[in-house]
Structure 1
Amino acid sequence: MSVGESMSHGLLWLPLLAVFIVLAGLGWVEYRKLEHYRQWAQQFEASKYDIAAVLGQGGDRLTWGEPTPKGIVNLQSCNLSTVQRVWVECSGQEIETDTSHVKGTIHLVLQTNTGEHCRIPFTELPLAFAWRDRLQLKLAGSKIEGEFA
């Protein structure tokens, strides 16, 4: 094997090394987001994490925000005592049941007594429906026990 062939083989592996370094970096970023979420979620009775948003429920207060490698940012909250209605929507259309044919942005929507709408992003439709059902039970006055993620 000549020097030129060895060099060309080495150059073929260089892009693979670059891809590996990028993937390792992205994995570290996601790990940092998840660690910040774990610390943040300890204060809540129930919580959820996905790439769209984090959400936590403690008593009658819902708090949500955006996970980043530096922590949870853009925190918002809502008191459940001010919520009149809860539903799930996808791309602005209200959805009643879980269907796998839905495509678009998923939100859990809370309508307050003042008519304000709080939209909490979700990436998984079944999880959005589970949170809707949980909050509807809470609004109806039922006591909710156990873990929820």
Structure 2
Amino acid sequence: MMHGLLWFPLLLVFVLLTALGWLERRRQNLYRFWAEGSELAKLDGSGAARLKDGIITWSSFEAGSFKEKDTFEVKRLELVELMALSSGEAPLTNESQGQCRLRLIGCGKEIDVPFADAERARQWMDQLMGKARCDL
């Protein structure tokens, strides 16, 4: 009896890890379907974003599906800024790493797209500005 009680917590941990793995796999499969045909796409802990047909769409994963938060037309993009995620209006320095957000500005509209990784955000920033110049 004592041996069974010792193994019971390990069984619970195994079931919990299996369930979490299944949820993550489901999220990634939904992302693949959502991002299909996109020119540029990302999925991380802060949400998903894609560039498709000249429109940037930012979504978060809620209740088993992607919920669209906002959209932005690349043709209207005037400026992209790399900002710190939680420190208000502070721009991110080149050496900074970690969570951040891209601020997309154009035609009187501003949206913030969160990123879990500053390096990936910098790559997106460069690619978006390249696309904006091509579409002009």
TM-score (norm 2): 0.87
Give the Cα–Cα distance (whole angstroms) in 2 for the partners of residues 19 and 74 of structure 1: 33
Q: 1:43 to 1:69 in 2, by over 3 A?
A: farther
Deviating beyond 3 angstroms after TM superposition, the runs of 4 or more aligned structure 1 residues are none
SS at match of 1:63: strand
Superposition deviation, residue 107 in structure 1: 0.6
- The reply to whether residue 34 of structure 1 matches residue 28 of structure 2 is yes
d(CA) in 1 for partners of 2:106, 2:45 = 26
Taking the aligned partners of 1:37 and 1:137, their CA distance within structure 2 comes to 24
Identity %: 29
| Conserved? CA contact 1:54–1:65, under 8 Å | yes
2:47 corresponding residue in structure 1: 53
Quick check: which has more Rg, 1 or 2? 1
TM-score, normalization by structure 1: 0.80
Unpaired segments of 5 or more residues in structure 1? 1-6, 143-149
Q: Please show how residues 119-130 of structure 1 align to structure 2 within 5 Å.
A: 119-130=112-123
Q: Is the 8 A contact 1:62 1:78 kept in 2?
A: yes
Which residue of structure 1 lines up, in the alignment, with residue 133 of structure 2?
A: 140
Distance in 2, matches of 1:87 and 1:94, equals 7
Contact kept? 2:57, 2:68, Cα under 8 Å: no
Letter in 1 for 2:112: R
Cα deviations by residue, 1:42-97 (Å, 9 ceiling, x for unpaired):
13112111121111112321011012462211342110122221011113321242
5+ residue gaps in structure 2? none
How many residues align? The count is 133
Alignment RMSD: 2.0
